[in-house]
Amino acid sequence: MSRHDEVSSAGWRALRARPPRLAQAFRWVCDGAAIVMAIAAVTLCFLVLYPLFWLFYGSFSYGEQGLGAALVQFWQLPGLERAFFNTLYLVAGTVPLSFLIALPLVLITTRTDTPLKGLIEVAALLPFITPPLIGAVAWALLAAPRTGLVNVFARQLGATSPIVNIYTMGGLIFVMSLYLSPYVFVTVKAVMQHMDATLEDASRVAGASLVQTTRNILIPLSMPAILSAGILVLTRAIEEFAIPGVLGAPSGIYTVTTYIYYQAISYVPPRYEVAALLASLLMATTALCLFVQSRVLGGRQRYTTVAGKGHPPHMPRLGRWRYVTMAYALAYIALTVVLPYLVLIYAAFINAWGQPPTFSNLTLANVFATFDPVLPVRAGLLNSLLLAFFGATLATVLTVIIGYMISKGDLWLRSSLDFVSSIPLAMPGPVLAIALLWAYLRPPFVLYGTLWILLVAYVTHFLPYGVRTTTGSFRQISVELERSASMCGASRLAVFRDILLPLIRPGMLAGWMLMFISMIRELSSSIFLFVPGTETAAVTLLEMWQEARFANVAVLSLTLITISVLVVTLVRYLSGGAHLAGRY
Amino acid sequence: MPSVRLDKLRKTFGNVAAVRNISIEFPEGRITSVLGPSGCGKTTTLNLIAGFLDPDSGAISFGDQIVADPARGIAVPSNRRNLGMVFQSYALWPHLSIGENVAYGLKMRKVPRAERNLAIRRALQRVRLETHIDRFPHELSGGQQQRVALARAIAYSPHILLFDEPLSNLDAQLREEMRLELKEIHRAIGVTAIYVTHDQAEAMSLSDTIVVMGEGEVLQVGTPRQLYEEPADVNVARFIGKTNVLEATLVDRQQDFARVMVRGIDGALRCRTSKSTPTDASGMLSIRPEAVRLRPSRVESIGMHGRLSSVVYLGSTAQFQVVLADGRTLEAQQATANSLQIGDEVGIEIDPERCYFIAGRSGPPRPAQ
């Protein structure tokens, strides 16, 4: 008892000792935190709103006459109508096809006893690792009408005309669907996997067959996820640059994004007003899609199927059919992963294009040639590494502060920061790039021609994803964990440093990693913003592709993939071994 | 050890008054329970004391130090109130070991390492978990986690300990063990403790004084016996144990007992009441189920009759429901010796020792749930 008193009064004194002399320092620290938060909020608003202002300003400066006349003149730009319709065809083909590919995979992995299910589940996500640019290049190497490997070998075997041609609308839709289907897979699978299986059991007990249950219960209950995935694929297809750039441009199939690049920005002299107007239209479309998606997800409460209760779904036995489902899954893996990577490896190590891949025809010369300083590859790779490292770090710091403010701030702060930080979601790479061109070509902030504009682009582009994940991480931490710390005498800053930061660290690392590997391969805004000397890895890749340097393209592609895999492994290693198995 | 005093404390959320003008003094060195159904304002009160919420008006003081008083612009932040708190969810930090969890408050107080280690060891010994010092929270059972939370709260020897339904996540048997352990630990360290719960058995076994709250107000402060035998409010009578509540009027007093008239019942009933209750006061009569004695109807001398509508066998006792002539029902509980059955006519005797007349609060009684 007396000992208790001693410690108690000592502790009490320590806590009370703060006010008079340390009060100022304490207040300063508080203000320090406030200053940091204010800086972060201002930075966020500036990053997002300043270019946005210039984008709108730019769109309205098109045409010298009134709005109506300007729009007529705009619509008559050569090839623009075609580009609009091409985008429409592309979307109309890609959305159904990506579902056709992914939905069976979801059912196979969540509702059947197909062999190799674990492998299939992992492999279905692999296209995520492959940037669309590299996927498109690989498919061009495989199936371009003259130089594609399939056609080359067919010619050697006596074919007189190309047997496949990827440079067509059909080819575009095919490759696009392959690379967008993982979005469907992930979104729909998340719901189907965690759905209360008793709902399906009830249907079976009521006399419905497996197929009827799937059609009448499973699919309708997954509808919000399916719609949401559909809108996601739609948005991605509209804003995609690399796939139409590589597969469409050679045969003159332009979409809106590639039209902006080839017919507005690369046009001599550049038509910046046209670019701004098109970018604004793209942004409006994306914003509309996002709005619809949020409404779809907002109405999700009606489907309260993912409850904590219930049991995992049964895996009906397919009998002999399970080999059919396995074959389907393996074919998907072959088309998305195996074939593209094989052709890249072939291109990287073969002596001369079209030779049979025997051991004597293999060489390492391509590798050395690719990193020869004569080519811009080394410089581009270095630029990308720098940009990705600093971009991901800056974005992480910014998003942690913004996420903290959103999850702990009052309602006004929360909703306004949330809104501003999600604006870039509606700005696909090309749109953001056009906005930045308008904003940073002119005083007071002349960043064009430096790496800074790319850094700004990357940080802005990936902000929303970072903010969402950090906000989510903060919200997952029960308020009692903070309260118990402040009971122990911890100030707000100490609570943040000792409790919150360590708890969100795994999420932070994962977010950093995602941003790093997304930034190192970034193409769709870099291509608009680079100048000779500030090329990024993806930009040099595209440049060399246009110069038909297949071997260099393949080596660089494999290098980029390897870096991504290494970073993922490293971060896994760093955050692994932690004792917190996600238990809070 | 300071006492905790709440003075005309008020807190509203939007239009809802969670705490209305409450004044309580929690005596120093004792465990005082705050008891009430969910939504009665007890958790809000605790959060106000902890400093997680600021009152709209009124004052909170610890001993002679005011820690919250909006009128004077005083709002000492939680971390400088020198409190310990045990949460319902344990709230152990998952990224810190047991030792580090317990050490945190001592580190914040800049206690030197040697002394700190001693205090950690002592706190963990008190909850009998000193061998778990290097484990992590998720490796411990729920009961162990709650004991670590207690050790963390007492390690830096705060003046005041707050408990927010700390045992309600544990199963029944463990809860009873923890209750005894808590009481023992409190006896050893003797801090001022405030224990919020909705479990009356917990409140009664842990504390000498219980504050019963309802709808943001203090209904009664008293010992467990006072609350049960002399409830100041019908809602207290209803919340502490079961009871039958009938409208009644006081007729006269004879020594310790009073006589009341109950509508629909011939003759006056004897009961107890507060000394200050005036004659002719109207109010409510609370009849505990164990005060209702059922006799086979043949006994002639009894004035009250009814028909048994339900019999529930509970082992040592049985619960009965009796429908009176005018349709009202009475609950009775008594030993299962006699063999009464549903539909039997019974005579009813009331034990005046277990009946209590509460003046005021007229109007139709709310049905007990």
Mean pLDDT of A441-452: 86
Report the alpha-carbon distance of residue A383 to residue B304 in Å, rounded. Answer: 97
Mean pLDDT across A200-213: 76
Q: Is the pLDDT of residue A387 over 90?
A: yes
Interstrand relation of B292-296 and B345-350 (parallel, antiparallel or unpaired): antiparallel
Rounded Cα distance between A270 and B50, Å, is 64
pLDDT tens track for A39-64: 999 999 999 999 999 888 888 776 66
Check A483 against B50: CB less than 8 A apart.
yes
Top-confidence residue, A120 or A431: A431
Q: pLDDT tens digits for A504-523?
A: 888 888 888 888 988 998 99
Burial of A276 (C-beta count, 10 Å sphere; 0-12/13-18/19+): buried
- Distance from C-alpha of A56 to C-alpha of A431, rounded to nearest angstrom: 11
Structure confidence by residue, pLDDT tens digits, A231-257: 889 988 988 999 999 998 888 899 989
Q: Which of residues 68-127 of B touch A (CB under 8 A)?
A: 77-80, 82-85, 87-89, 91-95, 104-106, 108-111, 115, 119
Q: Is the pLDDT of residue A1 over 50?
A: no
Flag if B52 and A483 touch (Cβ within 8 Å): yes
Query: What's the confidence (pLDDT) of residue B368?
Result: 39
Phi, psi of A310, rounded to the nearest 5 degrees: 75, -175
Ramachandran assignment for B319, one of left (phi > 0), alpha (psi -120 to 50 degrees), beta (any other): beta
CB B273 within 8 A of CB B356: yes
Full-prediction pTM beyond 0.95?
no
Q: Tell me if chain A has a CB within 8 Å of the CB of B157.
A: yes
Are B75 and B151 within 8 A, CB to CB?
Answer: no
* Closest Cβ–Cβ partner in B50, B92, B109 for A14: B109
Question: CA nearest B190 in A: which residue?
Answer: A1
Lowest mean pLDDT among A386-395, A405-414, B94-103: A405-414
On the 0-12 / 13-18 / 19+ scale of CB atoms within 10 A, A383 is: buried
- Which pLDDT does position A148 carry in this prediction? 87
Q: Is the pLDDT score of A28 beyond 90?
A: no
pLDDT of residue A13: 55
- State the pLDDT at residue B270: 84
Instruction: Report the relative pairing of strands B160-164 and B192-197 from DSSP bridges.
Output: parallel
> Chain B residues with CB inside 8 Å of A489's CB?
79-80, 82, 105, 108-109, 156
- For A485, the closest of B104, B109, B138 (CB atoms) is B104
List helix spans (H) across A61-125: 67-75, 80-111, 117-123
- What pLDDT, on the 0 to 100 scale, is given for residue B362? 44
Residues from chain A that touch B78, judged by Cβ atoms under 8 A, are 483, 486-487
pLDDT above 50 (res A577): no
What is chain A's mean pLDDT, rounded? 83
Mean of pLDDT values over A461-479: 87
Angle ∠(A575,A454,A61) on CA atoms, nearest 5: 140
* B77·A491 Cβ contact <8 A: yes
pLDDT digits (tens, 9 = 90+) for A105-121: 888 888 888 888 888 88
For an interface test with A, the pick among B74, B80, B100 (most A C-beta atoms closer than 10 Å) comes out as B80
Looking at residue A225, its pLDDT comes to 84
- A144-162 pLDDT per residue, tens: 888 888 888 888 888 888 8
Per-residue confidence at A81, pLDDT binned at 50, 70, 90? confident
Nearest chain A Cα distance for residue B308, angstroms: 41
SS3 for chain B, per residue?
Answer: CCCEEEEEEEEEECCEEEEEEEEEEECCCCEEEEECCCCCCHHHHHHHHHCCCCCCEEEEEECCEEEEEHHHCEECCHHHCCEEEECCCCCCCCCCCHHHHHHHHHHHCCCCHHHHHHHHHHHHHHCCCHHHCCCCHHHCCHHHHHHHHHHHHHHCCCCEEEEECCCCCCCHHHHHHHHHHHHHHHHHHCCEEEEEECCHHHHHHHCCEEEEEECCEEEEEECHHHHHHCCCCHHHHHHCCCCEEEEEEEEEEECCEEEEEECCCCCCEEEEECCCCCCCCEEEEEECHHHEEEEECCCCCCCEEEEEEEEEECCCEEEEEEEECCCCEEEEEEECCCCCCCCCEEEEEECHHHEEEEECCCCCCCCCC
Query: Within an 8 Å CB–CB cutoff, is residue B50 touching chain A?
Result: yes
B249 bridge partner residues: B261, B282
The pLDDT of residue A18 is 45
Q: Is B137 in CB contact (< 8 Å) with chain A?
A: yes
Contacts of B115 in chain A (CB under 8 A): 7
Residue A195: per-residue pLDDT:
75
CB within 8 Å: A490 and B108: yes
The predicted pLDDT at position A298 comes to 64
Model confidence over B122-139: pLDDT tens digits?
999 999 999 999 999 989
What's the pLDDT at A27?
52
Helix (H) or strand (E) holding A460: helix A451-476
Q: Which two tokens stand for residue B280?
A: 């002719």
This complex has an ipTM of 0.77
**Percentage above 70 pLDDT, chain A:** 88
A22 at B interface, C-beta within 8 A: no
User: For residue A411, is pLDDT > 80?
Assistant: yes
Q: B288: exposed, middle or buried (C-beta count within 10 Å: 0-12, 13-18, 19+)?
A: buried
Closest CB to B109: pick one of A15, A579, A580: A15
* pLDDT recorded at residue B363: 41
- Regions of chain B where pLDDT drops below 50: 362-369
Cβ of A486 within 8 Å of Cβ of B79? The answer is yes
State how far the Cα of A540 lies from the Cα of B117, in Å rounded to an integer: 60
B153 contacts on A by Cβ (under 8 Å): 487
* Between B27 and A314, the higher pLDDT residue: B27
Residues of A in contact with B186 (CB under 8 A): none
- CA A347 – CA A555 distance, rounded (Å): 8
Contact check, Cβ <8 Å, B105/A579? no
- Measured between alpha carbons, how far is A249 from B85 in angstroms, rounded to an integer? 67
B98 CB contacts (<8 Å, ≥6 apart)? B92, B124, B129, B132, B133, B134, B135, B136, B137, B140, B148
pLDDT value of position A14: 52
> Which of A14, A486, A580 faces B95 most closely, judged by CB atoms?
A580
pLDDT tens column, A161-182: 888 899 999 999 999 999 899 8
